[in-house]
Amino acid sequence: METWFYVVESIDGDYANLRRTDIDSADLKLVARALLPEGIAEGTKLKYELMQYSVIE
């Protein structure tokens, strides 16, 4: 299984724009907030592993 790292760039209603931080990319990924951990905000760092997002420090 692969692991990807993201940062929340912006939140727009029920969706969040995530940018990968483990590779050099300016592309954003639009993700439904229902799939993300509660309490995220702009700048929150996330790990995606085993089809789940979790907050990292």
* Per-residue confidence in pLDDT tens, the chain, 57 aa: 899 999 999 999 999 999 999 999 999 999 999 999 999 999 999 999 999 999 998
| CATH number reported for the structural domain that contains residue 47 in this entry | 2.40.50
Count of domains for the chain: 1
pLDDT value at residue 1: 80
26: left (phi over 0), alpha (psi -120 to 50) or beta: alpha
- The whole-angstrom separation of Cα 34 and Cα 57 is 21
- H-helix or E-strand spanning residue 27: none
User: Which domain, by its residues, includes 14?
Assistant: 3-56
pLDDT value at residue 37: 97
